[in-house]
Amino acid sequence: MDLAFLTPRTELSSLLQTMRRRYGGYRVLAHWTQGEFHHDVVMQVADPRPDLPGPVLVVATNCNGGIKEVLCFDEVPDRWALWHQRCPDNPEFGGELPQLRGSSRTKIWYDPCTLLGDDGPSELKPECRQRMRGGGWCAAGVGEIA
């Protein structure tokens, strides 16, 4: 199912307002970062019916809260299975996703795998960062590392 109706605007704040107004609210279940520039906000929608095919949304945003992608599931997906689906050639990701019930990519979507290479973007000085599992950078001493 195409979920483009959720993102006529690409700001996360706009989507959250829609979740409150149209679906009775939401509960944030997880917030995963991969590198400095990708966030996955996992939320459970209070009342997803009649027009959402499942109660769990994964909202992928950039570092400014701009929505790149929305995915809908019946249950919370495994973080590493989600990244395995996005970047199947990356050996550090693996697992199986539950059935994808709906999705949408916005005009600001780009291939997230481009963020993960050793030459991936970072605003951190090399001596102040560490590589995360699968790729991408975080501040040294913070986050899940390889």
**Rounded to an integer, what is the distance from CA 86 to the centroid of its chain?**
10
Number of domains in the chain: 1
- pLDDT > 60? residue 146: no
By C-alpha distance, which of 28, 53, 48, 47 is closest to 39?
A: 28
**Is 135 contained in some domain?**
no
Predicted confidence (pLDDT) at residue 50 exceeds the cutoff of 90: no
Cis ω before 50 (30° cut-off from 0): yes
The answer to whether residue 104 is domain-embedded is: yes
Predicted confidence at residue 143, as pLDDT, reads 61
User: 144 pLDDT exceeds 80?
Assistant: no
CA distance 23 to 41: 17
Q: What is the pLDDT of residue 41?
A: 98
pLDDT surpasses 80 at 12: yes
Assigned domain for 101 exists: yes
- Tell me the per-residue pLDDT of 78-125, one tens digit each, with 9 for 90 and over: 999 999 999 999 999 999 999 999 999 999 999 999 999 988 899 999
pLDDT band at 45, cuts 50/70/90? very high
Question: Would 36 be classed as within a structural domain?
Answer: yes
Place of tokens 């590493």: 80
Does residue 145 lie in a domain region?
no
pLDDT digits over 60-87, tens only?
999 999 999 999 999 999 999 999 999 9
Contacts of 16 (CB under 8 A, 6+ apart): 26
Residue 145 in this model has a pLDDT that exceeds 80 = no
Are 26 and 44 in contact, with CB atoms under 8 Å apart? yes
What is the extent of the structural domain holding 37? 4-112
142 band by pLDDT with thresholds 50, 70 and 90: confident
Q: Is 68 contained in some domain? A: yes
Query: Would residue 126 count as lying in a domain?
Result: no
- pLDDT averaged over the chain? 94
In the Cβ-directed half-sphere of 2, how many Cα atoms lie within 13 Å?
Answer: 4
- pLDDT score, position 65: 94
21 domain-assigned: yes
